[in-house]
A and B are shown apart, each in its own frame.
Chain A
Amino acid sequence: MTFIAKPKVAHPSLPKNALGFTRRDYEGALSTLCAGCGHDSITAAIVEASWGLAIEPQNMVKLSGIGCSSKTTAYFVSGGHGFNSVHGRMPSIAMGANAANRTLTYIGVSGDGDTLSIGLGQFCHAIRRNLNMLYIIENNGVYGLTKGQFSASADIGTKAKKGEVNFQPPIDPVLLAMTLGATFVARSFSGDKEQLVPLIQAGLRHQGFALIDVLSPCVTFNDHEGSTKSYAYTREHYEPAVHADFVPLEREIIADYGPGETLPVLMHDGSRIVLRKLEGAYDPTNRATAAAQIQERMKSGEYLTGLLYVDAQPSQSEFHAVNATPDVPLNSVPFETLSPGSKGLQKVLARYR
């Protein structure tokens, strides 16, 4: 059960980050997901990414809805507050929490059912508001806890475990997010930690809404022949288009890429994302051409992955910038500043005489 804490036995030789924490300090409760579940690999990538960024554990706020994926917020960074809310409504909880305190780091973990069916509306509107959070979809095309129904991301022609074929077109969160104006859109695979960890790091540091759609096979209900979200199928059809390395402000860029192949993108806080194109003509800073290419490749059943679109300095459209809220979190503005007092009230009442 999830309340069983992992024993914190840390060997003295374990590497420490800038805060003196080991990777164990970024772990959470024991996972109760099925053995081999893709989601657990994503959890491990989040642990690795948070440790690497040396985030203060208490400054990480973990949010989720309902479903297998939503359980995972209990499995990493036990020193951060978590909120496991209701099905499909995590974005609104995240919005309110972020409005109250803009200084914390918000990470939401959701699934394809939680995001693309019951929660599609809230997902879209969180993007429109450019809510500053990292939103990870653990996408397996299937409902796990209710035993194997298709989700809205199931591809046409994919087969359920009992043989049923899906005929409805899938909703692709990546294309949807790009259409809605998202400023950081990525796709990855739970089995590709090398690609996923830097994406999570860049997403956590992105000043605005960052989406990572992670293909994450369900070993129990969607890993059979005929499924387009199985490990085997995903490995065969996923196509890294752009590799992104995250370079924190503190670290110099080590020039191990040849010029012309790489594109360093400066982020709002001075960090950089170094993009390495793996696909000849792909430009992750051009929304229109990027979307067209993703769609084109999808027709032939291939998923382009990596940091597919980024506008690294979207600070003007971020929620707090638009609302001109102060740098101090709203939850700690002193009451004396907030309440106009009896004299203020007298002035107001003059209007109503």
Chain B
Amino acid sequence: MPASTPSRVNDFSVKIATVNGTGSASANTLLMKSIFRSGIPVMGKNYFPSNIQGLPTWYEIRITRDGYVARSGQIDLMVAMNAETYARDVKEIAPGGYLVYDSTWPRPALLKREDITVIGVPLARLCNENFNGVRTRILMKNICYAGVLAALLDLDLARIRELLAETYAKKPQLVDSNMKAIQLGYDYARENFACPLPLHVQKMKRTAGHIMIDGNTAAALGCLFAGATVAAWYPITPSTSLMDAFKMFGDRMRVDPATGRRNFAFIQAEDELAAIGMVIGAMWNGARAFTATSGPGISLMNEFLGLAYYAEVPAVVFDIQRVGPSTGMPTRTQQGDLMLCAYASHGDTRHVCLYPANPEECFYMAVQAFDLAERLQTPVMVMSDLDIGMNDWMCPDLKWDDSYRPDRGKVLSKEEVLKLEKFYRFIDKDGDGITPRTLPGVHPKAAYFARGSGHNQFGAYTEDATDYQVVLDRLVKKWATARKLVPRALIDATAGSRVGIVSVGSCDGAIREAQDVLRARGVGVDYMRVRAFPFGEDVEKFLEAHELLFVVEQNRDAQLRSLLTLESAVDKSKLRSLLHYNGLPISSAFIVEGVLAELQPGRHAQPRDAAHG
């Protein structure tokens, strides 16, 4: 037996390799939630295939007493349930780690590693002896490994039963059968191995006031609370669950109990072009409307986004980014649409983008997106990604301020229109570049013609050089107003360092952990996370104030770096890119290594991707 790892209570990562469509998702959720309910911060990442049944899938659970939200970059315990991926799964375990596998069938190849502890449990045999039916046996085998882990990691069985009871509230017989499978695994592990392992969990009180939620659900809640009434979309991974969640919440909270009427329209469009068209039509007509999509959908929406920009119609678009180019890897994460969204469509266009870093921000930024879109009369894109959107994150409780009222922007009422001698759509009276609009149905005097063709400030068609330019130049003023209205960057300059990290979105968790690790090694770095495009004054100042800046992002072509060089005065030579783009969420280890390799050139840098997947 190899030497075991030192006790790592509440600080380790477990990875579970299974076959998709076999019920492992329930087992993994069960494990994660039972740990969360025991007061221990936990992170869960799902690496699933673009497939319904039969392909490899993994789930990574990080138990993290310090409340980190990113991958550590190391796997301490692997549950290898998929014969197809055994070899690579075993390889991924950190020295001193553990392997749990189904020993019903001999796997001599597994024993080749001397530096890990192998724990064989005859899961299939146990389930075959205790359950009937092929499908049941497969499902129960996966619940059974949750029982094994409960024993090895010292999870609370009462919590697990409580969770099963909640999940199967309407089918109580399933609670007993699932619990039976849990107990089978639990008892077998207790009888055959020294339980718990040195790495195990211990109750804490660090999850009070927190929830486990995915970003798509949180964003959908934001739309519901912001008063969105029209939702149009075309199904695309990984955005679909946002729309599913909106419908679920709508069906629960937006139906008039007396009449059964639904205070929202939910439209599955024929494609993304139609989806964005519907959003634009609805917001032009005074409803709060949104769509959710991913990169391929944004590509298709380009023409309409240009129309909304130039015709000055509000729209809210959630881009749950996935791996590109083209179809790419639909179930893997990336930040590959930063450039595409910033300048979507032909001609001179620029779009307001918001960059949430976690589900909590998805909720708040969803609300902000509607306010900004209506205030600025322009599309606003909320750029989440698969990691934020589809994984469960531990977040502080979402809060709602009951005094919030939507900012509907400059929309003239009938009375206001009647006071005017004549209404002109595009005349800027107060210099902020935003001109008052009207809604259809108000009064004949309020009527105007929205168009994507050249128009003058009166709203009429034009091919006149000067008249055209007046409108285009005013849009630049509006952009300057947007710069003041969008969320500011979050800046941590406590290190007071000449070195800074600049990043965006879901890199945040890994960066904050990396800052801690670097600090422990005597390297202090400041950190700025941009939260919106256009960049504000604060971004300019941070870039100016630091001598060396690591730009951390999850794409190959350094898109955030490109945006910074295009839209700020920063000296390019100060910028060093740390790029992670293999489809897995970025880890803290990747950033630590990247920073140290630059700052301590003598130090041997490990190849980034090979080491940390």
A contact set with B: CB distance below 8 Å: 1-3, 29, 57-59, 61, 73-74, 78-86, 89, 91-101, 103-104, 121-122, 124-125, 129, 319-320, 323-327, 330-333, 335, 337-342, 344-345, 348-349, 352-353
Contacts and interface: CB of A to CB of B under 8 A. Distances in A.
Contacts of A86: 303-304, 307, 452
B393 to A, nearest CB: 10
Contacts of A3: 456, 458, 460-462
Interface residues of B, number: 79
Contacts of A1: 460-462
Given A79-B447, A339-B225, A339-B227, A121 B263 contact: no
B311 to A, nearest CB: 8
Contacts of B438: 81
A327 B278 CA distance: 20
B409 to A, nearest CB: 14
Interface stretch (B46-54, B124-132, B172-180, B400-408): B400-408
Interface in B181-226: 211-213, 217, 221, 224-226
A92 B304 CA distance: 11
B611 interface: no
B285 interface: yes
Contacts of B282: 96-97, 99-100, 331
Contacts of B119: none
Nearest to A103: B441
B450 A83 contact: yes
B361 to A, nearest CB: 16
Given A3-B462, A86-B303, A342 B452 contact: no
Residue with the greatest number of chain A CB neighbours at <10 A, chosen from B261, B275, B401 = B261
B325 interface: no
In the A-B complex, the 6 residue pairs with the smallest Cβ-Cβ separation, listed nearest first, are A96-B281, A92-B277, A79-B444, A3-B460, A100-B287, A96-B278
A229 to B, nearest CB: 26
A330 B399 contact: no
Contact of B270 (A81, A103, A121): A121
A338 B249 CA distance: 11
B225 A93 contact: no
Contact of A95 (B277, B440, B444): B277
B307 A349 contact: no
B454 to A, nearest CB: 11
A349 B212 CA distance: 9
A331 B229 contact: yes
B225 A345 contact: yes
A82 B278 contact: no
Contacts of A353: 37, 211-212
Contacts, number: 229
Contacts of B483: none
Nearest to B226: A339
B110 interface: no
Nearest to A80: B447
A89 B263 contact: no
* Max chain B C-beta neighbours (<10 A), residue from A29, A89, A129, A339: A339
Interface stretch (B251-259, B494-502, B507-515): B251-259
B447 A2 contact: no
A122 B311 CA distance: 21
A344 B441 contact: no
Nearest to B443: A58
B211 A349 contact: yes
B516 interface: no
A340 B246 CA distance: 13
Nearest to A129: B267
A3 to B, nearest CB: 3
B277 A324 contact: no
B213 A352 contact: yes
A174 to B, nearest CB: 21
B270 A338 contact: no
B12 to A, nearest CB: 24
B453 interface: yes
B317 to A, nearest CB: 13
A338 B461 CA distance: 38
Nearest to A92: B277
Contact of B397 (A78, A93, A103, A349): A349
23 contacts: A2-B461, A3-B456, A29-B460, A57-B444, A73-B449, A79-B444, A81-B447, A82-B450, A86-B304, A89-B304, A92-B281, A93-B284, A96-B279, A96-B282, A99-B232, A100-B283, A101-B440, A319-B265, A325-B264, A331-B439, A339-B227, A349-B211, A352-B211
Contact of A335 (B286, B406, B442, B449): B406
B377 to A, nearest CB: 14
Contacts of B149: none
Interface of B: 37, 211-213, 217, 221, 224-227, 229-230, 232, 249, 253-254, 256, 259-267, 269-271, 273-287, 289, 303-304, 307, 311, 397-402, 404-406, 438-453, 456, 458, 460-462
Contacts of B249: 348
Which residue among B212, B221, B274, B283 has the maximum number of chain A CB atoms within 10 Å of its CB?
Answer: B274
B304 A338 contact: no
A31 B242 CA distance: 46
B452 A85 contact: yes
A337 B401 CA distance: 15
Contact of A61 (B226, B267, B440, B444): B440
A194 B91 CA distance: 82
Contacts of A99: 229-230, 232, 265, 267, 278, 281-282, 287, 289
Contact of A97 (B225, B284, B449): B284
B277 A89 contact: yes
A223 B543 CA distance: 65
A335 B227 contact: yes
A56 B315 CA distance: 28
A58 B446 contact: yes
Given A332-B286, A342-B401, 15 more contacts: A1-B461, A58-B443, A80-B440, A82-B450, A83-B284, A83-B450, A95-B281, A96-B230, A97-B282, A98-B281, A100-B287, A122-B270, A324-B260, A330-B264, A340-B224
A288 to B, nearest CB: 26
A324 B257 CA distance: 12
Given A103-B441, A331-B285, A96 B262 contact: no
Given A3-B460, A84-B452, A342-B399, A101 B263 contact: no
B278 A92 contact: yes
A127 to B, nearest CB: 11
Contacts of A121: 270-271, 274
B375 to A, nearest CB: 16
Pick the most buried of B217, B279, B285: most chain A CB atoms within 10 A of its CB.
B285
B227 A93 contact: no
A341 B449 contact: no
B289 A338 contact: no
A333 B229 contact: yes
B260 A100 contact: no
Given A84-B451, A89-B277, A337 B263 contact: yes
Contacts of A2: 460-461
B229 A100 contact: yes
A348 B438 CA distance: 36
A332 B262 CA distance: 14
A86 B300 CA distance: 13
A137 B221 CA distance: 41
B278 A338 contact: no
B274 A95 contact: yes
Contact of B281 (A29, A94, A342): A94
Contacts of A340: 224-225, 253
A29 B460 CA distance: 10
A38 to B, nearest CB: 22
A331 B230 CA distance: 9
Q: Identify the interface centre among B262, B265, B289, B453: most chain A CB within 10 Å of its CB.
A: B265
B274 A122 contact: yes
Contact of A338 (B229, B259, B400): B229
A213 to B, nearest CB: 21
Contacts of B281: 83, 92-100
